[in-house]
Amino acid sequence: MADLSINFAGIRAPNPFWLASAPPTNSGPQIHRAFEHGWGGAVWKTIGAPVLNISNRYGGLSLGGQRLLAINNVELISDRPLDVNLREIAEVKRMWPDRAVIVSAMVDADPKAWRDIVMMIEDTGADGIELNYGCPQGMSERGMGAAVGQVPEMCQLNTHWVTSVTKLPVIVKLTPNVTHITDPAHAALAGGANALSLINTINSIMRVDLDTLQITPNIGGRGTHGGYAGPAVKPIALNMLTELMTDAEVLRSGVPICGMGGIQTWRDAAEFLLLGATSLQVCTAAMHYGYRIVEDMIDGLSNWMDDKGFATIYDVAGRSLPQVSTFGQLDLSYQAVARINPDKCIQCNLCYVACNDTAHQCIDLYAEGGIRVDPGFDPRMNGKGVADTRPTPVVREPDCVGCALCVNVCPVDGCIEMVSVPSGRESVTWDQLTAQRPAVTQQWAAMEAYRDEAGIEIH
């Protein structure tokens, strides 16, 4: 079997699956149960400044009968007494010496406050410290959490206050509520961070109840912004991870990155690893399905790695990064078209509607006998007032621009595929075109002339 063990900034764990700092890591008994199910590590729910939590705390996003595609929370950091948390952290680490026990911390932006909490954490025997610079609600209004993570100077300063007084590995957890994720990352590195983790939750208001007109979650007739997480945020997390893993300064630093944001299955985990993460954190999925989901994650990732011939996590990490490009480096001559498998098609004709109404009008409908029908054709009739089978969609390939909208709306896996076809044009990128023929990229008349020359038809 593949070796899933990791060494993340000096923190060792039997596998890369860690529970994120959140309700699933609120107490020692919880983390004991999690470790019994196989989690490789846990980041303790953030300790630090005193708080009072409220209720209701969560709002969920459901769609098409699927629950908790995303969760919005207005919960704060741990409201349990500091001494209780510290005692339980020490107990967990003593009982589970092979697991990663990291303590998330958040205090006022003051060097003494940071030194005091760091000394307490060190006394527990924990493996590392994660600095919570991401919490977007409640704590940010008090000058902590995202209020630090959104200001690079504060991020660097607070990180320095910690790294200057501890030998424990320091992980800086980045907020996604910024314009460029590289800015706080650079600041954390300048402050001496040993590792980075991302993403924390995204600032959001989940919804408004149309019956009561109240914001959800409703806290005594009022609502507020909270942190958005769960499967729906995964593409955002993957993009921000990729931004860091392709940034020259981050690469020069050599610091490892812990990826999180929407990981629910081993497949999600593999995607984060392929884009450069070397450890992973999970929260919403555990809240939805319980701690045992890690068993499927471990088995699935291990089997996939065996099938692909990857022996270790580090054989996987970053393998897809060479494919990452800017738009200006993409081949403008590449051409793909959609093809519909008639044997799999259920004649729902969602592809036709999507293409005809909102894309490039290159899918036609054909009734039995190969008769093309008009857009206003009633699919229940054959034109003679007799019930008939629904028409079949067929792509008009010469007019297909390869947008792939039809593939994404089709409810049948593998029914529509994007197939590469020769374009008949020489390979060229936008950057090359800009350098070689700048007028083409700056003037519409020159662009139209270039299209005529290259045989590019726009319809």
Contacts of 127 (CB under 8 A, 6+ apart): 11, 12, 41, 93, 100, 101, 102, 168, 169
| Closest-CA residue to 259 (of 289, 239, 285, 287) | 239
- Bridge-partner residues for 208, per DSSP? 215
Task: Give the tokens for residue 104.
Answer: 């998330």
What is the longest distance spanned by two Cα atoms in the chain? 85
- Residue 417's φ and ψ, nearest 5 degrees, are -125, 150
Chain-centroid distance, C-alpha 170: 23
Please name the residue that has the structure tokens 């994404």: 408
Identify residue 239 by its one-letter amino acid code: N
Q: Distance between CA 436 and CA 427 in Å, rounded?
A: 13
Question: Which of the following is catalytic: 135, 258, 351, 406?
Answer: 135
| Closest-CA residue to 147 (of 100, 101, 109) | 109
Contacts of 14 (CB under 8 A, 6+ apart): 4, 5, 40, 98, 99
Helix (H, G, I), strand (E, B) or coil at 384: coil
Other Cβ atoms less than 10 A from the Cβ of 55: the count is 11
Secondary-structure breakdown of the chain: helix, strand, coil percentages, each rounded to the nearest 5: 35, 20, 40
Does 135 participate in catalysis according to the annotation? yes
| Closest-CA residue to 114 (of 47, 162, 45, 164) | 162
CB-based contact 26:79 (threshold 8 Å): no
| Closest-CA residue to 155 (of 136, 177, 183) | 183
Tell me if the bond preceding 171 is cis, omega within 30° of 0. no
Chain-centroid distance, C-alpha 415: 27
Task: Give the tokens for residue 438.
Answer: 């700048």
Catalytic residues: 135
